[in-house]
Amino acid sequence: MTASKRRGLMAASALLGGVMVLSACTGDGDKGGSAAADASTKSQAQIDEAAAQETSKARIVISPKNGADNAGINNDAKVTVSDGTLTQVTMTTAEGKSVKGEMAADSKSWKPSEQLERATTYKIAATAKDADGREAHENASFATVSKANSFIGNFTPEDGSTVGVGMPVSINFNKAITDKKAVQSGIKVSSSSGQEVVGHWFNSQRLDFRPDQYWTEGSTVTLKLDLDGVEGAKGVFGVQQKTVTFKIGRNQVSTVDVATKTMKVTQDGKTVKTILISAGSPENPTYNGQMVISEKFKETRMNGATVGFTDDDGKGEYDIKDVPHAMRLSTSGTFIHGNYWGPDSIFGSTNTSHGCVGLNDVKGANDPNQPGAWFYDNSIVGDVVIVKNSKDATIKPDNGLNGWNMSWAQWKAGSAV
């Protein structure tokens, strides 16, 4: 090949390469790639839009959150919805037992209609619809507070009862309370009489409430326990939520004079009866002070060994299986009761008991004309019995329901709020 031919071929090749490069960078190529990308993007947007149209706007919230533990048994469990209405809610235990519930009138919320059990796992399944009828679903499982991590308060008097003017509200907790302020703040005691009512802690497990003076006769007292979820001690929560009411009866106060060996019974300030008694002997005197009847027994057994009165063999100094018309005045064993084993002559003349106040009575508790029977029939739990002129000390305020032996200033000083 001649030199001129080679130069011509190289020129042609260069020209052809230039055309190819230019062709690869033309606007036509960009149009083709952009159109394909637009088509792909448009297709994804359409998919997303379609998916959004199928998703419900309803938003369900289940409380407690899934996996929660130590949930309260009264108020914690509930289901709510926004941008929609609830159509179905089911709640069951882990074993499948159904829990009844209440749907709000607007179908915006649901809650159990019964108190839950402690130390139990529950499951909730909820369904809701938005305005366009699209459904939403939520599920959750949680565990309620265990017995080990919760506390309750056993209280007296009972709901619906009628009691005497000296009856305090006494609450005994089954676990020691370290945050007394939090617990007392969750308890309210009020009287229809308008009397100021204050709580007093005797120890970490007992909280009593009373007014300055005895309750007003005929009034109604209300106890509200709002302790669900209240942390009484580290990791220990309350579970109670309830309201209790009781009625105050007539104002009966009986005064035992150990020196004269008589008891004067007054109702609403008027003396209705004077009864001859036999109180504690000089060796075993009766406590002085204001005492409240906390229990009544038509007949009961009294054994000295249970309250420390034993002989050299360790047996009780007395063991009477059928003491008639007995009413408890102290935790330590002080009673006012009928006495059939002593001669009639001791009543009004000699103090012979181991610390109790005895009234003349008969075995079997079946003679309503006996002083012991009369006093029993005319007394109710919460009535006050005052003992005076005994050689013994004044009974301690926490020995029974006897907080009236503290001044009002002393009583209020024991409040945590």
Q: Are 334 and 309 a contacting pair, CB within 8 Å?
A: no
Could you tell me the two tokens for 101?
């519930």
| 74 DSSP assignment | S
Pairing of strands 270-278, 197-203: unpaired
Tell me the C-alpha distance between 258 and 51, whole Å: 91
User: Counting every residue, how long is the chain?
Assistant: 417
Any catalytic annotation for residue 25? no
Cis, bond preceding 211 (omega within 30 deg of 0): no
* Cα–Cα distance, 319 to 309 (Å, whole number): 10
Instruction: Write down the catalytic residue from 200, 325, 337, 354.
Output: 337
Measured CA angle at 119 (ends 117, 123), to 5 deg: 75
- Is the CB of residue 358 less than 8 Å from the CB of residue 254? no
Residue 356 is among the residues annotated as catalytic for this protein: yes
Pairing of strands 357-360, 270-278: antiparallel
Q: How far apart are CA 199 and CA 189, in angstroms?
A: 9
- The first and second tokens of residue 248, run together, are 């105050």
Question: DSSP for 128-181?
Answer: EE-TT--EEEEEEEEEBPPSTTEE-EEEES-TT-EE-TT--EEEEESS--S-HH
Catalytic-role residue among 200, 325, 354, 356: 356
Strand residues in 182-318 grouped as ranges (E): 187-191, 197-203, 206-211, 220-226, 231-233, 236-238, 241-248, 252-257, 262-267, 270-278, 289-292, 295-303
Helix (H), strand (E) at residue 4 = helix 3-24
d(CA 338, CA 296): 12
Exposed/middle/buried for residue 217 (C-beta within 10 Å: 0-12, 13-18, 19+):
middle
Please name the residues in contact with 229: beta carbons below 8 A apart, sequence gap of 6 or more: 72, 75, 76, 237, 238
Question: Which DSSP letter does residue 21 get?
Answer: H
**Could you give the CA distance from residue 104 to residue 101 in angstroms, rounded to a whole number?**
10
Q: How far apart are CA 18 and CA 151, in angstroms?
A: 91
Which 3 state secondary structure label does DSSP give 182?
Answer: helix
Catalytic residues, which ones? 337, 356
